[in-house]
Amino acid sequence: MKTYTIASAIIKYKDKYLIGKRAANKKFYPNIWELISGFIEEKEPAEETILREIKEETKVKAKLIKTADPYIIKVTNERWIIIPFLLEAKDNSFKLNKKDHSELKWVSLDELSKINELKEDIKQLKIRGLLKWN
């Protein structure tokens, strides 16, 4: 089993959350909806990773609000250690980086909860208090 560690962002603007559909040429899980995330580089703090990834992948201007304990998702022969962060976007603008995503969009909490690829993430983020339903 291979183990990977990533930082993952729940980017919120008002009552919407930013998600991206991974580009078709991505090594891991192409054409799958995801939260904005990225591999933590050697000796790079996860907080710096997530801010770098957001800038590279979306150009969204956001500030870090909260973090939570990591969680693990196992898929076939892979184990993903995910360090989650909640960020608040300054506005709803973004710039698509086609190298990373074929699509970016803002979705409501209800829409977010219906995306199959994100069900385990959503469950873990609710447990950790980073996503809350009214």
More confident site: 99 or 132:
99
Kindly tell me if the per-residue pLDDT of 133 is higher than 80.
Answer: no
Average confidence (pLDDT) over 13-24 = 94
For the chain, the average pLDDT equals 93
Residues 27-56 as b or e (16 or more Cβ within 10 Å = b): eeeeeebbbbbbebeeeeebeebbbebbee
All structural domains of the chain:
2-127 (3.90.79.10)
| Contacts for 118 with CB less than 8 Å, ≥ 6 apart | 19, 33, 34, 35, 112
Confirm if 56 and 48 have CB atoms less than 8 A apart.
Answer: no
pLDDT tens for 63-121 read 999 999 999 999 889 999 999 999 999 999 999 989 999 999 999 999 999 999 999 99
Give the pLDDT band (50/70/90) at residue 28. Answer: confident
Could you tell me the pLDDT band of residue 134, with boundaries at 50, 70 and 90? Answer: low
Q: Which helix (H) or strand (E) holds 51?
A: helix 46-58
Burial of 95 (0-12, 13-18, 19+ CB in 10 A): exposed
Distance (Å, whole) CA 98 – CA 23: 7
